[in-house]
Amino acid sequence: MQLRLEWTALPAAVLALSLAGCSDGAQPTAVALPAAARALAVAPDFAGTLWETTGRRAWRSHDGGLSWKRVHGPGGGLAVAFSEQGGEVVGPHGEQRADYGGIGLTPARQTPQPFVSLTTPYHRTDRLYALDVFGHAWVSVDAGRHWLQLRAAGLPNTAVSISAVRGDVTKPDVIYVACGARGLWRSLDDGATFTHMPAPAVAYGVAMTTDEQSQVLVAGDKVYLSQDYGRTFMPVLDRRVDAVAYDPRNDRLAYAAVGRELLRSVDGGETWPTTGE
C-alpha cells in the first residue's frame, strides 16, 4: 500500500525528519517555536539542526523541534544561511558565525549595509548572497569576510528575500529574489541581471534546495510551488506565510512559518492540511 504524505500543521513549531530521509509512515509531531519566525533554515549537519531567526535572536533545535535553545551571542538575527565555514547569521549589528549546531555566535562583524536576507547556493562553498535594507543584492566569495554589491540590473528595490542554488559548477548560480508586490525575479548569471517571473504576482519569501533544483517554493498571498525550474507555479496553500525553507539535502522536507505556527511538508511542499488537521 502506498502512503500519501501531506503537509502537517505544526502549531507554533519547526519540525524535521532525520537527514536519512523521509520513510513511509513518518509522522510529524507538534512542538513550540520560541517566537514568531523571520527566517527558517536547516543546517547540513548529521542532526539536521533547525535554525530560527526572529529579529531579536537566533534559536536552534537538535531534536526535530522537540526542544529549542537560544544560540548565544549578540542579538538581532534576521536571517541565517550555511557556508562551508558554518552558520552565518545577519542582522542590524552585522554578521555573526556559529558552528552548524549553533553552540554560540561570534561577535558581530560589520557588513556594508544591514542585511535582511541571506542564502548560499550550496553548503560546501564560501559563496553567499545577501539583500540589504534598501533592496540591494550583495555577494561574498569568502564566507562574508568581504562583500561586493551586485549589478543586479532590473531588480526592484523592494527585494526582501533571496535564495540561490548551484547545479553545474561550470555554470552560473540560479538566484531568485522575492520583491513583495513587485513579484518574483530570477537571475541566471550570478546576479548580474534579473528577469521578472510571470508568477507569482506577490512574493515575500523564496526557498530552493540543492537536492532537487527544479523545486522553487514561494511565500506570497498564498504558498506557491514550482517543480519545473520556475516555468510554472501552482498554489499549494491558500494562506500567507512569513517564511519558507527547504532541507538542503532532502527535497521532500519543506517548511513554512505562520506567526508562531509552523507547517512541515514531507512531500516537497505539494500538499498540506488546514490548521489543526
Domains in the chain, CATH or no CATH each: 8-21+32-265 (2.130.10.10)
pLDDT tens-digit series, residues 77-133: 999 999 999 999 999 999 999 999 998 999 999 999 999 999 999 988 999 999 999
Type of residue at 136: H
Q: Report pLDDT for 274.
A: 62
**Mean local confidence (pLDDT), 189-198:** 97
Which residues are within 8 A (CB) of 107 and not within 5 positions of it... i.e. 6 or more apart?
Answer: 73, 74, 96
Residue 45 has pLDDT above 70, yes or no: yes
Residue 159 has pLDDT above 90, yes or no: yes
What is the rounded distance in angstroms from the CA atom of residue 96 to the CA atom of residue 127? 16
Q: Average pLDDT, whole number, for the chain?
A: 87
- Secondary structure class of 193 (helix, strand, coil): strand
pLDDT tens-digit series, residues 216-225: 999 999 999 9
Residue 6 has pLDDT above 50, yes or no: no
Q: Name the pLDDT band for 23 (thresholds 50, 70, 90).
A: very low
Cell of 108: 558581530
Percent of the chain predicted with pLDDT > 90: 69
Q: Report pLDDT for 7.
A: 42
Q: Report pLDDT for 14.
A: 39
**Mean local confidence (pLDDT), 27-54:** 83
**Mean local confidence (pLDDT), 192-221:** 96
Q: In 3D, which of 95, 101, 88 has the Cα closest to residue 44?
A: 101
Q: Which of 14-28, 58-72, 104-118, 119-133 has the lowest mean pLDDT?
A: 14-28
Residue 71 has pLDDT above 70, yes or no: yes
Looking at per-residue pLDDT, the higher value among 262 and 108 belongs to 108
H/E stretch holding 78 reads none
Q: In 3D, which of 258, 247, 260 has the Cα closest to residue 20?
A: 247
Distances (CA, A) of 68 to 71, 103, 111, 135, 214: 9, 12, 28, 31, 32
Q: Report pLDDT for 260.
A: 87
H/E stretch holding 255 reads strand 250-258
Q: Report pLDDT for 273.
A: 52
Distances (CA, A) of 161 to 1, 11, 61, 133, 135: 40, 24, 23, 11, 9
Output the pTM of the full model: 0.89
Residue 174 has pLDDT above 80, yes or no: yes
